Amino acid sequence: MIHLNVEGMTCDACATHVKQALEKVPGVRSADVSYSRGTARLAMASDTSVAALTAAVAALGYRAALAEAPAPAKGTSLLDKARGLAGGSPRSAGKAGELHVVVIGSGGGAMAAALKSAELGARVTLIERGTIGGTCVNVGCVPSKIMIRAAHVAHLRRESSFDAGVSAARPVIDRARLLAQQQARVDELRRAKYENILEGSAAITVLRGEARFKSAGSVVVRRNDGGERELPFDRCLIATGASPAVPPIPGLQDTPYWTSTEALATDTIPPRLAVIGSSVVAVELAQAFARLGSKVTVLARSTLFFREDPAIGRAVTAAFRAEGIEVLEHTQASAVAHVRGEFVLATPGGELRADRLLVATGRAPNTRSLGLDAAGVAVNKQGAIVVDAGLRTSSANIFAAGDCTDQPQFVYVAAAAGTRAAINMTGGDAALDLSAMPAVVFTDPQVATVGLSEAEAHLQGIETDSRTLTLDNVPRALANFDTRGFIKIVAEAGSGRLLGVQAVAPEAGELIQTAVLAIRAQMTVQDLGSELFPYLTMVEGLKLCAQTFNKDVKQLSCCAG
């Protein structure tokens, strides 16, 4: 019998989850977990790893420590177990019995994995060939959201729903100063959240260079300061991210086109901007540049948000056109040229001319230079590393997380994957559940989704019942004099169980997490409709939409429960 102290449980349900996790650890016969006492009592085989138990609890977000335990059996520590699973060689360890984890990359997934691996007792070598911090903080999420917010402020100064009583003014845009402000915040966050943390961790060594697999147990690093170094490992996490994908349009490669990286770093606003693509990056930056003064034309091969519920694309397209953004649907450029400082795009509707061209047709995984064949790591047709729910690749020693994998390309997915991969690399058992994954597009109005759309549910053989609530039924939207958009709830027919939510609304990203939690808790529309929501908030729209399944919300008073 062994006892653990378990911290972080808040209810009896937490204790049940901990019990289930502990009983999945090899060697555990039974677990008696008490929320009130904060303890776990286990009956288990004598060679069961105590560290594997604590790792299983940590995977749930709680903390466990040994209260009283027998003397550990030789070779059954967390690190010994993890090394044994992979057949690790002592040559990769800095100290006897020390697990060596190599992390390739330094973005959100890589950092999460490195820190968690170190926390669980491993020695970590993090390899980065470029700038510490990866895409999100340097050339992705952070700079783009700063630019988008600046553009939103410029738009409101030029035009708002209150212009009748608050005089509007044409803003003067100094892009160079905005860029300096943007870059200063990027540098600040990279230093605080990445570089300082790595420098402060004695268990993590940063190696600057490019890694390539020599085998399933070692990488060769071409160091940035010259020379090569072979680095054996017990476990490896690949978190190399992705880069902008460029379509094979004739003539494009011979032009000074922009990807998102160059667009976010420009210190000027072009008078005319053409955007090829309808990706998240394409629509976000198209609207930002339009609001900062560019005349923007978007070329969409299909429609905006063609993979989502069709109502989303229609709503955003209408909002764009209302702002003067030209959206050319079902349009592709058959050729691109750059003549006398001007881009010329051949399209089915004739020539399109622009001062700058942004190509934003998605992102491709950074896997080509890794030598994955030598390590036995499988990729899909797009070059993305195939992983299971535990972030394992086809090679026993090697895990992967983030945009270089076949998982959704969001930094919070990458970070969650990195943490779970670290738990598994060090002997635990954690899985990444994406069944209630939120997604937000930072256009105005924003697009936010979670769970299944009607079409996705039907593909899974689930019969659905759905309701769509336009924002002219939401008091907060009425008070804002901005009723663009809608909230849609998809439920299982008969049971009313929530399956998915799609929203197009100002600040939709702030309401979607409530839907995430509701889906995670397996609530029904009746449950959601009976909850208390604060009046005059956008998230109240979820409650109202849920109530439309059994009543006419137009006949309710403002605060009807």
Kindly write down the DSSP assignment for every residue of 284-336, as one continuous string. HHHHHHHHTT-EEEEE-SS-TTTTS-HHHHHHHHHHHHHTT-EEETT---SEE
Sign of the alpha-carbon dihedral angle for 411, 415, 416, 420:
positive
**Active site includes 194?**
no
**Active site includes 236?**
no
Residues 338-349: b if buried by 16+ CB within 10 A, e if exposed: eeeeebbbbbee
**Catalytic residue of the set 9, 147, 538, 545:** 9
535/75: higher pLDDT? 535
The Cβ-side half-sphere exposure at 331, using a 13 Å CA radius, reads 21
Asked, colleague to colleague, whether 83-133+186-243+365-425 and 252-361 share their fold, the answer is yes
Q: Which two tokens stand for residue 23?
A: 């009983």
Percent of the chain with pLDDT over 90: 81
**Active site includes 11?**
yes
Interval 430-453: pLDDT, tens: 999 999 999 999 999 999 999 999
- At 92 the pLDDT is 43
Residues 415-430: b if buried by 16+ CB within 10 A, e if exposed: bbbbbbbbbbbbbbbb
CB atoms within 10 A of CB 445: 22
Interval 323-370: pLDDT, tens: 999 999 999 999 999 999 999 999 999 999 999 999 999 999 999 999
Do residues 356 and 362 make contact, with C-beta atoms less than 8 angstroms apart?
no
CA distance linking residue 475 with residue 536, whole number of Å: 6
In the chain, what is the greatest distance between 2 CA atoms, to the nearest angstrom? 80
- At 559 the pLDDT is 66
- At 401 the pLDDT is 98
The full set of domain ranges for the chain reads 2-72, 83-133+186-243+365-425, 252-361, 439-555
**Which residue, 257, 310, 255, 261, is CA-closest to 281?**
261
Query: What is the edge-to-edge ordering of all strands in the sheet holding 28-34?
Result: 28-34, 39-44, 2-7, 63-68
**Active site includes 9?**
yes
Cis amide bond preceding 445, omega within 30: yes
Report the range of poorest mean pLDDT among 15-19, 301-305, 537-541.
15-19
CA distance linking residue 134 with residue 519, whole number of Å: 31
Do residues 287 and 446 make contact, with C-beta atoms less than 8 angstroms apart?
no
Q: Which two tokens stand for residue 145?
A: 């959201």
**Which residue, 546, 532, 545, 534, is CA-closest to 476?**
534
The top-level CATH class assigned to 2-72 is alpha beta
**Catalytic residue of the set 1, 35, 111, 141:** 141
- At 370 the pLDDT is 98
- At 88 the pLDDT is 40
Residue 435 DSSP label: T
pLDDT band at 170 (very low <50, low <70, confident <90, very high): very high
4/66: higher pLDDT? 4
The CATH number corresponding to 83-133+186-243+365-425 among 3.50.50.60, 3.40.190.10, 3.40.50.2300, 1.20.140.10 equals: 3.50.50.60
Average pLDDT over residues 60-88: 54
The mean of the pLDDT values for the chain is: 92
Superfamily, domain 252-361: FAD/NAD(P)-binding domain (3.50.50.60)
60/75: higher pLDDT? 60
- At 11 the pLDDT is 65
- At 312 the pLDDT is 98
- At 510 the pLDDT is 97
- How distant, in Å, are the alpha carbons of 177, 277, 295 from that of 332? 35, 9, 19
- At 42 the pLDDT is 87
CATH number of the 439-555 domain: 3.30.390.30
CA distance linking residue 422 with residue 1, whole number of Å: 28
pLDDT band at 76 (very low <50, low <70, confident <90, very high): very low
Across 355-438, the runs of DSSP E, i.e. the strands, are 356-359, 363-365, 398-400
Q: Where are the alpha helices (DSSP H) in 453-497?
A: 454-459, 475-480
Interval 383-416: pLDDT, tens: 999 999 999 999 999 999 999 999 999 999 999 9
Average pLDDT over residues 162-171: 96
Q: 3-state SS of 73-96? A: CCCCCHHHHHHHHHCCCHHHCCCC
Do residues 477 and 538 make contact, with C-beta atoms less than 8 angstroms apart?
yes
**Catalytic residue of the set 35, 111, 136, 147:** 136
**Catalytic residue of the set 62, 194, 257, 523:** 62
**Active site includes 559?**
yes
CA distance linking residue 464 with residue 252, whole number of Å: 45
Do residues 313 and 304 make contact, with C-beta atoms less than 8 angstroms apart?
yes
- At 1 the pLDDT is 67
Please give the distance of CA 554 from its chain centroid, rounded to a whole number.
Answer: 37
CA distance linking residue 537 with residue 114, whole number of Å: 39
Amino acid letter for position 475:
P
Please give the distance of CA 341 from its chain centroid, rounded to a whole number.
Answer: 37
Average pLDDT over residues 25-48: 83
What residues contact residue 218 under an 8 Å CB cut-off, 6+ apart? 92, 230, 231, 232, 233
- At 71 the pLDDT is 35
| Predicted TM-score of the model (pTM) | 0.84
CB atoms within 10 A of CB 316: 27
Q: Is 542 helix (H, G, I), strand (E, B) or coil?
A: helix
